[in-house]
Structure 1
Amino acid sequence: MSKERSIATLALDGGALCFHFINTVNAWRGPNLYEYLGNYEELIEWCRKVDILDEAQRTALLQYATADETAAAAALQKLKRIRETLYHFFSGIAENDGITLSSSVLEKFNKALASALSHLQFERTATGVKATLQRDDTDLMAPLWTVMKSAYDVLTNEEHVRIKECETCGWIFLDHTKNNKKRWCSPLTCGTTDKSKRYYQKKKEKAEE
């Protein structure tokens, strides 16, 4: 019997918010058996799971999406297109630090990044100024602003050699291990699957000799 999938069961194996967003499909390699962001309500549920935006803003965005289903559907499709761009961008980074990244992917990534960071501002606090993202309870793309800020932070603050693509499912993750030898998003799921495939392939090849 197949495992029931939902936002509640979605593993957060990315190590960074932007990678958690990329990993809202069952797989980028091979057949994608499940789409975790099937509607805007599930997007808000995902925002709650990863704790971005406050509850009042999440509620307001969901109410706005419910009141205008056409706008919500269009926003979700745009978010998914940018999610795909993010996957191809970071897949290229994982492969060779983007040396062979296509101009099309780079252009789409930079466009999404510029749009998101245009909402970045500094606010005065009791301990000094800090960078925050503008709040807009009627812009259905608002969750993406935080995701793209995360992508910027990863690219500027993390070693690019630690950005990996799972050899089994294609999920993107940040390798926090000391030796930087992690090959799968999760050794218990994709790691086990990969080892099983290799075992049966060797067994098959031996039987055919």
Structure 2
Amino acid sequence: METPEGVARMRLVGGNLALDFINTRTGPPVGDPDDDVLTGYAELVAWGAYAGALSKPEAAALSRLSRDDPDRSQVAFARSLRIRDDLDEVVRAVAADRSPGASVLARLRDDEADALAHARLDRGRTYGWTWRDDPTLDRPLRPVVHAAVNLLTAGALDRIKGCGGCRFLFVDESRNRSRRWCSMDDCGTSEKMRRYVAARRSRPTG
């Protein structure tokens, strides 16, 4: 399956599958997003494969299934956008040290219950939930929802941050918790350049 150009250009900088899913929308740190990688079910499947939530055979099977049942694939895609909105609301509240609303947390609880209802417990180094036997069109969403709940219930909430230069969210794994940017190669470099230009302009001439 060929990866759509927009998906292939994505930066996976969240440090968590759910945060990378939220980061499929780009834009400034404050305000509405200005671009969206997920434009249809095909892009959702491509993103799942690109982010490691789906194997290539799973992605190919879902692509065939969506072509055979376009109405149900559209329902699954609409659900994915709703889940992304919910995760965005919850995680941004946590990053701002606020409590998310009860209704959005209830929906996340129900989405996690649905995800686990389609999961199996498999052994790797330890036991964990997998969705290898789930052939349904909602398959790309299951590990995303589970990753979000695991981050909220088992992670260090004060490490969840928003980038200072764009709307991306990430887990700050730095030792002193000082990370400010989604990526030093992008937003970090842009800020350094802005400061450099500002410093040059402030220097006295002559």
Task: Tell me the CA shift for residue 195 of structure 1.
Answer: 5.7
**Corresponding residue number in structure 2 for 1:13:** 13
Shift of 1:134: 5.5
Q: Is the 8 A contact 2:131 2:139 kept in 1?
A: no
Contact 2:108 2:145 in 1 (8 A): no
Aligned to 1:207: none
Q: CA deviation at 1:202?
A: 9.7
The alignment covers a number of residue pairs equal to 197
Q: Distance in 2 between matches of 1:154 and 1:132?
A: 17
Aligned to 1:175: 172
Q: Give the TM-score taking structure 2 as reference length.
A: 0.82
In structure 2, the CA distance between the partners of 1:196 and 1:63, relative to structure 1 (3 Å rule), is same
**Alpha-carbon distance, 1:129 to partner:** 5.6
Give the distance between the partners of 1:111 and 1:198, measured in 2 at CA.
46
Tell me which amino acid in the other structure corresponds to 1:113. E
The residue matched to 1:164 in structure 2 has which SS? strand
Query: In the alignment, does 2:152 pair up with 1:152?
Result: no
Shift of the alpha carbon at 1:92?
1.1
CA RMSD of aligned residues (A): 2.8
Alignment check: 8 A CA contact 1:22 1:87 kept? yes
Aligned partners of 2:100 and 2:32: how far apart in 1?
23
Matches within 5 A, 1:184-203: 184-194=181-191
Higher deviation after alignment, 25-34 or 109-118: 25-34
Q: Which residue of 1 aligns with 2:204?
A: none
Q: SS state of the match for residue 39, structure 2?
A: coil
Offset of 1:10 from its aligned partner? Answer: 0.5
Q: Which residue in 1 is equivalent to 2:70?
A: 69
What SS is found at the alignment partner of 1:6? Answer: helix
Instruction: Summarize the alignment of residues 134-153 of structure 1 with structure 2, pairs less than 5 Å apart.
Output: 135-137=133-135, 139-153=136-150
Is the 8 Å Cα contact of residues 112 and 148 (structure 1) preserved in structure 2?
Answer: yes
1:173 is paired with a residue whose SS is strand
> The residue matched to 1:65 in structure 2 has which SS?
helix
How far apart are residue 13 of structure 1 and its match?
0.7
**1:91 alignment partner AA:** R
TM-aligned CA deviation for residue 47 of structure 1: 1.5
Q: 1:30 to 1:62 in 2, by over 3 A?
A: same
Q: Is the 8 A contact 1:29 1:168 kept in 2?
A: no
Task: Give the deviation of 1:169 after TM superposition.
Answer: 2.0
1:157 is displaced (CA, Å) by 3.2
TM alignment of 1:71-86, pairs within 5 A? 71-86=72-87
Give the TM-score of the pair, scaled to structure 1. 0.80
Secondary structure (helix, strand or coil) at the match of 1:176 reads coil
- The alignment-based identity, stated in percent, is 30
Q: Which residue of 2 aligns with 1:109?
A: 108
Contact 1:119 1:134 in 2 (8 A): no
Q: Per-residue displacement from partner, 1:58-112 (whole Å, max 9, x unpaired)?
A: 111111111222221221111011001101101111111xx43222322222222
Aligned residue for 1:185, secondary structure, equals coil
C-alpha contact (below 8 Å) 1:94/1:163 kept by paired residues: yes
Alpha carbons 2:120, 2:131 under 8 Å: kept: yes
